[in-house]
Structure 1
Amino acid sequence: MGKISNKITRYKECCHQNGKRLTFLIYYHKFKRKIFNRFFLGRSDTCIDSSSQLLGLKNIIIGTGFQTGKHFRIEAVTEYNGIKYLPRIIIGDNVSFSDFGHVGATHYIKIGDNVLFGSKCYVTDHNHGNYRGDHASSPEIPPTKRNLTVDQKVIIEDNVWVGDGVTILPGVTIGRCAIIGTNAVVTKNIPPYTICVGIPAKPVKKWDFEKKVWIKY
């Protein structure tokens, strides 16, 4: 009875704050999300929005407490242009993406526990074509016809906060407890316990363990 009473109380509070029509829409979307997670994904410990696209699920491991906003997309690419890939995406516990997040892998992406992503974040371990060394892709080849790269990993360690609009490119590790500022582009490794901003992302502050404050990097 206690749980039912609490739910009724929360519903009344929502009606008072938002009105009956908006409250109905809020609860309708919650219901859709619950049905999507339990019956289509077979999970009761996640909160993935029903507008999400999850491609290559056999190659994706998702921890408990995973949450997404609207139009989230995650894809473990197993074949492209007739070439087969063996991707792996591992997501830890209590990871959260806001609206329009996108994660794509042909090789390996690992996201640790308690990582928070803002909206419109993009995480990828590959490119359309190779632009390094002696076997670079010709610009005359249409981008969709260029083979995907498979030689780099992305690792995001525990307790990282990624701001809105951040792009995380192949071959980087973001250290534990780092903060990535809005619209940054991560092209190189990020040290743990730092705040990084810009294009490309660079540290501007670090955590001082003795003084318990953020100081200039």
Structure 2
Amino acid sequence: MSFVSSIKSNPKLKKLVHWMLIPPGQSRPRLWVRLILNRFFHERGKGSVVRRNARMDLFPFNKFALGAKSIVEDFAVINNGVGDVFIGEGSGVGISTVIIGPVKIGNFSMTAQHVVISGLNHGYQDVSIPPRHQKVTTKQITIDDNVWIGANCVVTAGVTIGKHSVIGAGSVVTRDIPPYSVAVGNPAKVIKQYNFTTQTWEKA
């Protein structure tokens, strides 16, 4: 049995370790976790940049990787507390963007400002318990290479956005977007796709 498995299988030990990592009632790791512990668990590619005012709510029990020459801008929030977060090479996380795992972003993709990409949902089914205290569910979000997501978009849990697609500003993506597409609206719908035969973007 691994060290992590032994902790998870012992409720008292798990509670103690959780308290050591996370202040009660919060979703942000303790300062010593952010400054010391995470250095041994997460990957940062050469030339990658995390701006000073970005909030990196990262935990050692899930994975995080930031590819070479990628950038996380000021006031962005990245949280891997409920799922791994992977960001490829040459990608950009825009100002005030929020990413909650499980999320995988490919190479040379970018978000504009105030984008929310969340693989997390709170339960709400039991009306005797506030949603805040119900179990969470997660579904993997995958954003392929060369994707551009416009300002104020929301990408919901379980969605895949295909390669070289564009999501128009203010859109809410609730279903998969095929590669080489332009999608807009709430819920987002494909309005253009690239035709490799004619080498033009055509109305869908």
TM-score using structure 1 length: 0.69
What stretches of structure 2 of length at least 5 have no aligned partner?
1-37
The alpha-carbon deviation at position 211 of structure 1 amounts to: 2.0
The alpha-carbon deviation at position 98 of structure 1 amounts to: 1.6
Work out whether residues 87 and 104 of structure 2, in 8 Å CA contact, stay in contact via their aligned partners in 1. yes
Aligned to 1:121: 115
What are the Cα deviations for residues 148-190 of structure 1, in whole angstroms up to 9, with x where unaligned? Answer: 113x111001010100011000011101111000010010000
Percent identity reads 27
The alpha-carbon deviation at position 208 of structure 1 amounts to: 1.4
One-letter code aligned to 1:142: P
Secondary structure of the residue aligned to 1:127 is strand
Aligned to 2:185: 198
| Residue from 132, 141, 162 that aligns with 1:144 | 132
The alpha-carbon deviation at position 191 of structure 1 amounts to: 0.7
One-letter code aligned to 2:132: T
RMSD over aligned Cα, in angstroms?
1.8
- Work out the CA distance in 1 between the residues paired with 2:67 and 2:192: 30
Secondary structure of the residue aligned to 1:215 is strand
Q: How many residues are matched?
A: 161
Aligned to 1:96: 92
The alpha-carbon deviation at position 139 of structure 1 amounts to: 3.8
Aligned to 1:11: none
Aligned to 1:70: 74
Aligned to 1:18: none
TM-score using structure 2 length: 0.74
Aligned to 1:6: none
2:201 corresponds to 1:207: no
2:179 corresponds to 1:185: no
The alpha-carbon deviation at position 70 of structure 1 amounts to: 1.5
Q: Which has the larger radius of gyration?
A: 1
- Work out the CA distance in 1 between the residues paired with 2:89 and 2:72: 13
